[in-house]
Amino acid sequence: MDTVPSELWHTLDGKDSAVPPAWADHPRATQKSPVLAAAAIKLLRTPTALAQLSPEESACIVSFMRLTGFAPGATILREGDQQETGYMLLVLTGEVSVQTTDGGTHEPVVISVLGPGNVIGAMGLLDGAPRSATCVASSRIEAAVLSRGALDQLIAQHPHVGAKLMVALCQRVSDQLRATGQQIGMYVQLMQTMQAEIDALKQQLRDDRRD
């Protein structure tokens, strides 16, 4: 597999300021790297990405994507970032560590590790809201980027494909919402158990002190 041109690699780490990448300056996936483009077309159709697309629809979407790369340790997306968040990435090579400091912990907690075929940042693409998690390149990453501007062009020029992409993306976000719903259910149960333990310990303390 050929690689992304060296001048387009991102080496931003957490200490750098969050300079948004200028996606328009990146090569279109289909123009500069046919091998990576072919990988993107295939990967966009894996169950981890958006399996409901036909090969032709997938190729149409990839023609609107741009290539980028990240050095190991580089921050791909930063939790809470509010600038230029309107894009998603399809991971082509390497592994991405998804981390959060949500919940008030000081050390970031690794939520998941994502590999080729995974899509990251889909929610930002849709509404440009602050990033909900930090994504760090665990290894050398090559990725295809779809920006909001490119999505709007795709919908304008190929509305059927745009609509199908949106159905697929929406199903992905729904799956994540179902998973977090189950997680919340689990936590509520766990908290009930902990509360029962607290009540029992308090009772023991009272009993002990009465004796």
Using CB under 8 A as the binding rule, whether residue 210 contacts its own copies is answered as no
Residue 7 neighbours by CB distance under 10 Å: 6
- With CB under 8 A as the contact rule, which of the stretches 25-33, 53-61, 90-98, 191-199 interacts with its own copies? 191-199
3-state SS class at 118: coil
- With CB under 8 A as the contact rule, which of the stretches 36-44, 89-97, 138-146, 155-163 interacts with its own copies? 155-163
Using CB under 8 A as the binding rule, whether residue 16 contacts its own copies is answered as no
**Is the separation of the CB atoms in 98 and 152 below 8 Å?**
no
Quick one: 101 exposed, middle or buried, by C-beta within 10 A (0-12, 13-18, 19+)? Answer: middle
| Per-residue x/- track, 126-145, its own copies (CB under 8 A) | xx-x--x-------------
3-state SS class at 126: helix
What is the C-alpha separation between 96 and 75, in angstroms, rounded? 9
Using CB under 8 A as the binding rule, whether residue 184 contacts its own copies is answered as yes
What is the C-alpha separation between 40 and 25, in angstroms, rounded? 19
Q: Least distance in Å: CB of 211 to its own copies? A: 10
Reading the block at residue 64, the tokens are 């609107």
Using CB under 8 A as the binding rule, whether residue 46 contacts its own copies is answered as no
Q: Which of 15, 103, 106, 210 binds its own copies (CB under 8 A)?
A: 103
- With CB under 8 A as the contact rule, which of the stretches 5-13, 58-66, 70-78, 183-191 interacts with its own copies? 183-191
Q: Which of 100, 121, 135, 150 binds its own copies (CB under 8 A)?
A: 100
**Is the separation of the CB atoms in 14 and 70 below 8 Å?**
no
- With CB under 8 A as the contact rule, which of the stretches 54-62, 85-93, 113-121, 157-165 interacts with its own copies? 157-165
Q: Where are the beta strands (DSSP E) in the chain?
A: 9-10, 66-70, 75-77, 87-93, 96-100, 109-114, 119-120, 134-137, 141-147
Q: Which residues bind its own copies (CB under 8 A)?
A: 100, 102-105, 122-123, 126-127, 129, 132, 155-156, 159-160, 162-164, 166-167, 169-171, 173-178, 180-192, 194-195, 197-198, 201-202, 204-205, 208-209
